[in-house]
Structure 1
Amino acid sequence: MSGILALWNLDGQPIDPRLPQRLTDVVAHRGPDGAGLWVHGAVALGHRMLYSTPESLQEKQPFRDETGNLCLTLDGRVDNRTELRSALEEKGLMLRTGTDAELVLRAYDCWGEDCPKHILGDFAFVIWDGRNRRLFCARDHVGAKPFYYYADGHRFLCGSELRQLLEHPAVRREPNEGMVGEYLACSITSQEETLYRGIFRLPPAHTLTVGPDGFQKKQYWNLDLLREIRYRTDDAYAEHFSHLFREAVRCRLRSHGPIGAELSGGLDSSSVVGMAQSLFRESAAPDYGFETFSLVFPGLDCDESIYIDDVRRLWGITSSSVPPDNPHASAMQQIQQHMDFPDYPNYSMFDPLLVAARDRGIRVSLTGLGGDDWLGGGFPPYTDLLREGHWLTLLREIRQDVGDLGFRSIFKQMLAPLLPRRIHHAYAWAFKRNGVPPWIDAGFARRVHLAERLRERPGERPFKSYVQQDRFLLYRSGEQVHSNEMAERSSSRFGIESRHPFNDRRFMEFAIALPQEQRRRGAHMKFVLRQAMRDLLPETVRQRLTKAEFSHTFAQAFESLGGERLFRRLATATWVNSEQTRGLHRQMAHLYSQNDPGYKALTWPLWMIVGIESWFTRIFNPSSSATESSSYRSYLQNHVMTRQSESTL
């Protein structure tokens, strides 16, 4: 984890070094170990350094090659260092330092704009290519490292956090109402837009070239939907899984100091811990110290202490149990610090855990993030069983789940994927179910064409199964990018680099090609993972069928932030239907007070409303002063009312 910045005055105006220095220092929390700045006429690159690997101790960024024509600023980690170095040396490119920054710059020197295809790991980087007078930007395959950019014809600006861009005097702060609508609808479809007009994110697995001929964006990697893995035995699948998962964990253990791991007691995080311990004991990875950190909830249903303790006893791990604090008070400070949507309560509840890890000298932490994404099943298996005529298996699966889900929910989810898209649209029109929730103001929804935005999906693709389609659409969703950025931001606030073995590119390529019976076998989700971890997990964890649920953190957040008062007078009343919103909160609060699990489905839209309200009032601050109030009224007049008139023409 580091912080990066790039600025190019496209009109050739020389850059005052004080500006990029200030914008780089905005993200000093991402790189407390040093700052670097390179300015060359109209171009500037900035960097904030966090030492997290042995090689990073020798790294100075921005990094220039010996010719002076190429200069790089990198936030990232290269996981295939040995293979990449060998490939470069075969091409006659010798390394001077062997740092990750040099590997990336040499890769660009060797393969040009195709270089990200050869790099495995988490990264976001910018290279100034003086020979061709262009900036080359790239982001890793899942968007583990953030990358935001702004361009207005006079300048190009990019960085690790939104606040860097918003601090530039030429960047105007205006809400992106279309994206606001997606948040309020709990359906973030865009991978590129942000909550600010004119500021974009580079999508995962994409490059962006800025040069004399303009802007060119390319996708350099995608999941292979035609690949299908078929073995004769469960053991063969488990062996392949173990090989890939072992490497995914091993390459993420590269550190110059002690490593932490978030251990929840669930199947995913426990598997990461088990594999890491196995590697340490085999001396397959250097052991600089390893400690787990766990949130515990004494007396609550979501407490997983019994499973956490079983993992600790199996491996004899040094561990810390951390009670949850009130995480919701920090949500508003997060907005002020990052100028973005606040963390979900089930993310910010990890703040005490990250503080404990930081205080123990941890800079690198492993997580189980991604396990649900790539090994999960969900409803689509029903659709595949129905389509393929596996009636007995289908009935067995339905009988197993109907108690928790109900027949209506199962059949709706089972049949919906089989309907042609035009039938979906006709049904929505006939029943006025255009996908826009009732708590969103109808005029606002029309103005931003919200129904059309919510229907947008990646282009038609061939899928082997509906399960595969479900996983692919998750990968291509804006929600996935948003969640990955939120997870990264949560840990970066505390100077910790989180690493996610389940998001390894090689592992994802394997998981998307798995047959359904390796994802789910009877009541056992993630069947292949359970098989592969037979010797590395306690049986209580490996055979566990339950999963902790944290919807109560959302309900508690509303009360902590003011309860009903939150929804009495909304500054975002031009975006939401205030009466519907208050009714939604009353219903949620009543169900929660009665211990009715129906409250859970209502917490999500309410938090999106609260998050947007909090973001809007703190960034645009419509009522704190006469000047700001006037500015807010001007915004409404120039953007909202104008668009209302246009929509009636």
Structure 2
Amino acid sequence: MGFCGGTGSGFVRLEAALQILRLGPGRNFPKRTQDDVKIGCCDDSVIAADDHRIAVFNGRLDYVDSLRSALGESARAVTNPAQIMLAAHAKWGIDFCEHLIGDYSCALWDGREKRMILAVDPFALRPLYYWQDGDRLLFATEMRALLSDPAIPRVLDQKMMADILAVQPCDPMRTMYQGICRIPGGHSVIWEKGRIRSERWWRPEQLATLRFRSDRDYEEALREAFEAAVACRIGTSEPIGTHLSGGLDSSSVTALAARQLAAQGRELTAYTATPRHDFTLPQQQFGDEWGHAALVAERYPNIRHHRIDNDAVTYLEALQAREMAHEWPMIGSVNLRWGDAIERDARDRGIKILLFGQIGNMTVSYDGVELFADQLRSGRWGQAFLTARRSVRSGAARWPAVANETARLMLPRHIHRRLLAIAGKREMGLRDYSLINSDFAEEAGIAEAANATGGNMRNVPHRDGLAFRLSVLTRMQHNFGDWVAATRRLYNIEIRDPTADRRLAELCFAIPQEQFIKAGVPRSLLRRAMRGILPDTLVDERRRGKQSADWTTSYAAERPELQVEARRLRHSDFARTCLDLDRMEAMLENWKAPAPGIPADPMEAIILMRGLAAGRFIRRFEGGNG
């Protein structure tokens, strides 16, 4: 499913590492050797070499015609992405990644300079990991290949586990294993003569702000870039599916894909997860997204629409099925059941590509609410007041919430918290959203920061709205990249996310924030751009869709099995150290379904599922989940 290689003595058993990575049949793997460097690949990864260089590529290149034009005549007939890498390196040197667009990870050995370059795309949808010890560098697209080498110690990183349990910003280069590093999105790792450095080559914060003449120009630019991003990801003949919720992101991806596939005479299989039990939600949310999704499916006759129950499989069944392919704790596991059920059904139907809209909240459907904070921080008080008034008039905000946000931004933290206490309110602390053992949090040095942030990225200080969006995307990379890789391994399905298209994202980052919250309406730009492509019901919907809205019923049915899982964690020394198992068992014992008409608190499920998933990961590491 990727590639691996190394310098120095390299992998002790390169063939064995490639055998671990492979998905398809066969035992003969393309390999290249130069000097003391050995690189091999499997499945759909490709490799190329010349007299002094080796290039290996895993993933997909987009906008290839424009890249070939930039490379010149010598590259016009080249189709192998690894050969294109060599041509790009010859023209641009170590900066060649800046010119590659797509979902990819890659490695390039330059024998003349004795230099290895490892790199991934800006959103790290094709992960790449490495380990170094002196003149020995090993790298692979999955950690399982690295861990097959006897020289690499198999030791959990306890600080990373603490950050995960406390929902803190993680070091983007760390993994769950000490000594094994990952390459963050939009970065290169360069190894030369035993020395290694990381360079960030993707810098969207340096983009110039776009200034178009009219609102319509912004709408047309977004729609055109979005359509191009979808076109890059639908392939030419492969069976293709999509997640279709009632929200803007997945609905937009689905509608744009359906339009393009219809022109090719192709169908699109769309999946919507729905509740089958009663539930109650706050007024500003809706939990059954089938009606909204069905409106999209009805609009495009080539869509084949399928309903998947939220609890189509049990939580533990889904967790057990997926965890052997994951190299990261399944912390976002409340929606695990229906997510895995969709992919199982897609596999059974022969679907090879599944479209997501996972990154859209920070790109195409960004809500723009940081505009108010940016205006306050920069002293533009009058503009901030106008922004707040428009949000209140549109129904997106209320004046008490505006006052609280102003106090949060402008007052010292301890004063703001004291004012909340006087008003009978409080912000969440670490115990409110995590089952981490308090002693473990203190020893890891994260307790104070975790209590201050309350698990909310908006409580982490950021320079401006763009910095906030980029930090959220960095935080997502660990989980989403691991999910994408695991889905390929489990079901031979490639997940593609048009909202993570680099050109589309850069456009969104360059558009003024005011366009995203025009007239006080969050996500205004995508609403306007998709008017006429999506049904008006979806475009005008202000409520937020709530996934797994009926979790309380299915959770209650599984409680005995979950209690058994919690008791098993007591057999692990590390689980007892990092998790508050007494509290976990008490929550499971005392849990009661809310009274009819009273919304359930989703935080209880989030706390428990995150703790149980982390515990399962620990037990699997220790060999105890068999």
Tell me which interval the TM-score lies in, with the shorter structure as reference length: 0.7 to 0.9
**How far is the alpha carbon of 1:524 from its aligned partner?**
4.1
**How far is the alpha carbon of 1:240 from its aligned partner?**
1.4
**How far is the alpha carbon of 1:449 from its aligned partner?**
1.9
The CA deviation string for residues 496-525 of structure 1, in whole angstroms up to 9 with x for no partner, is 111111111122122223334422346743
**How far is the alpha carbon of 1:495 from its aligned partner?**
0.9
Q: Does 1:28 align with 2:17?
A: no
**How far is the alpha carbon of 1:362 from its aligned partner?**
2.1
Q: Among the aligned pairs, what percent are the same residue?
A: 24
Q: Is the 8 A contact 2:117 2:191 kept in 1?
A: yes
Q: Is the 8 A contact 1:364 1:496 kept in 2?
A: yes
Find the counterpart in structure 1 of residue 487 from structure 2. Answer: 490
Find the counterpart in structure 2 of residue 415 from structure 1. Answer: 407
1:340 maps to a residue whose letter is W
Q: Does 1:243 align with 2:229?
A: no
**How far is the alpha carbon of 1:140 from its aligned partner?**
0.4
Find the counterpart in structure 2 of residue 363 from structure 1. Answer: 352
Q: 1:416 to 1:237 in 2, by over 3 A?
A: same
Q: Does 1:372 align with 2:361?
A: yes
Q: 1:414 to 1:377 in 2, by over 3 A?
A: farther
Find the counterpart in structure 2 of residue 192 from structure 1. Answer: 173
The CA deviation string for residues 93-122 of structure 1, in whole angstroms up to 9 with x for no partner, is 345542223222321232221001011111
Give unmatched runs, 5+ long, in structure 1.
51-60, 625-649
Q: Does 1:172 align with 2:153?
A: yes
Q: 1:559 to 1:164 in 2, by over 3 A?
A: farther
SS in 1 for 2:592: helix
**How far is the alpha carbon of 1:174 from its aligned partner?**
1.2
Find the counterpart in structure 1 of residue 320 from structure 2. Answer: 332
- Identify which range, 560-569 or 498-507, moves more after superposition: 560-569
**How far is the alpha carbon of 1:379 from its aligned partner?**
5.3
Find the counterpart in structure 1 of residue 282 from structure 2. Answer: none
Find the counterpart in structure 1 of residue 301 from structure 2. Answer: 316
The CA deviation string for residues 40-69 of structure 1, in whole angstroms up to 9 with x for no partner, is 37433222224xxxxxxxxxx55223x342
Q: Is the 8 A contact 2:407 2:416 kept in 1?
A: no
Distance in 2, matches of 1:253 and 1:291, equals: 12
Q: 1:378 to 1:244 in 2, by over 3 A?
A: closer
2:615 maps to a residue whose letter is E
Distance in 2, matches of 1:333 and 1:365, equals: 19
Q: Does 1:576 align with 2:579?
A: yes
2:605 maps to a residue whose letter is T
Q: Is the 8 A contact 2:328 2:478 kept in 1?
A: no
The CA deviation string for residues 514-560 of structure 1, in whole angstroms up to 9 with x for no partner, is 33442234674321111111221122222222332125576545863
Distance in 2, matches of 1:472 and 1:314, equals: 34
Q: How does 1:114-129 map to 2 (within 5 A)?
A: 114-129=95-110
The CA deviation string for residues 227-268 of structure 1, in whole angstroms up to 9 with x for no partner, is 323444321221111121121112223334233222223221
Distance in 1, matches of 2:80 and 2:550, equals: 42
Give the total of aligned pairs. Answer: 591
Distance in 2, matches of 1:581 and 1:165, equals: 34
- Identify which range, 371-380 or 193-202, moves more after superposition: 371-380
Q: Is the 8 A contact 1:142 1:481 kept in 2?
A: no
Find the counterpart in structure 1 of residue 562 from structure 2. Answer: 563
Distance in 2, matches of 1:566 and 1:401, equals: 44
Q: 1:596 to 1:70 in 2, by over 3 A?
A: farther
Q: Is the 8 A contact 1:166 1:173 kept in 2?
A: yes
Q: Does 1:270 align with 2:251?
A: yes
Distance in 2, matches of 1:330 and 1:496, equals: 17
Q: 1:596 to 1:34 in 2, by over 3 A?
A: farther
Q: Is the 8 A contact 1:261 1:292 kept in 2?
A: yes
Distance in 2, matches of 1:250 and 1:419, equals: 47
The CA deviation string for residues 575-613 of structure 1, in whole angstroms up to 9 with x for no partner, is 1333344455567x3365666435212332322211111
Find the counterpart in structure 1 of residue 532 from structure 2. Answer: 535
Find the counterpart in structure 2 of residue 64 from structure 1. Answer: 48
Distance in 2, matches of 1:305 and 1:547, equals: 14
Distance in 2, matches of 1:340 and 1:596, equals: 35
Q: 1:420 to 1:118 in 2, by over 3 A?
A: farther
Q: Does 1:520 align with 2:517?
A: yes
The CA deviation string for residues 173-228 of structure 1, in whole angstroms up to 9 with x for no partner, is 21111001011112242211111111111111000122214112111012225632
Q: Does 1:211 align with 2:192?
A: yes
1:344 maps to a residue whose letter is S
Of 23, 27, 41, 1:47 maps to: 41
Q: Is the 8 A contact 1:35 1:47 kept in 2?
A: no
When the two chains are superposed, the root-mean-square deviation of aligned CA atoms in Å is: 3.7
Give unmatched runs, 5+ long, in structure 2.
279-285, 420-425
Q: Is the 8 A contact 1:292 1:317 kept in 2?
A: no
Of 366, 371, 391, 1:397 maps to: 391
Q: Does 1:508 align with 2:505?
A: yes
Distance in 1, matches of 2:556 and 2:361, equals: 27
Distance in 1, matches of 2:131 and 2:543, equals: 45
Q: Is the 8 A contact 2:271 2:342 kept in 1?
A: yes
Q: Is the 8 A contact 2:54 2:109 kept in 1?
A: yes
Q: 1:425 to 1:223 in 2, by over 3 A?
A: farther
Of 65, 85, 97, 1:82 maps to: 65
Q: 1:590 to 1:532 in 2, by over 3 A?
A: same
Q: 1:190 to 1:549 in 2, by over 3 A?
A: same
Q: 1:501 to 1:434 in 2, by over 3 A?
A: closer
Q: 1:434 to 1:251 in 2, by over 3 A?
A: closer
Distance in 2, matches of 1:321 and 1:26, equals: 34
Q: 1:453 to 1:216 in 2, by over 3 A?
A: farther
Distance in 2, matches of 1:233 and 1:592, equals: 50
Q: 1:546 to 1:491 in 2, by over 3 A?
A: farther
Distance in 1, matches of 2:86 and 2:388, equals: 53
2:445 maps to a residue whose letter is H
SS in 1 for 2:56: strand
Distance in 1, matches of 2:467 and 2:41, equals: 39
**How far is the alpha carbon of 1:138 from its aligned partner?**
0.5
Q: Is the 8 A contact 2:11 2:149 kept in 1?
A: no
Q: Does 1:38 align with 2:38?
A: no
Find the counterpart in structure 1 of residue 273 from structure 2. Answer: 295
Find the counterpart in structure 1 of residue 422 from structure 2. Answer: none
Find the counterpart in structure 2 of residue 472 from structure 1. Answer: 470
Find the counterpart in structure 2 of residue 634 from structure 1. Answer: none
Q: 1:167 to 1:597 in 2, by over 3 A?
A: farther
SS in 2 for 1:245: helix
- Identify which range, 392-401 or 512-521, moves more after superposition: 392-401
Distance in 2, matches of 1:472 and 1:47, equals: 32
Find the counterpart in structure 2 of residue 602 from structure 1. Answer: 604
Distance in 1, matches of 2:368 and 2:556, equals: 29
Find the counterpart in structure 1 of residue 423 from structure 2. Answer: none
Q: Is the 8 A contact 1:268 1:371 kept in 2?
A: yes
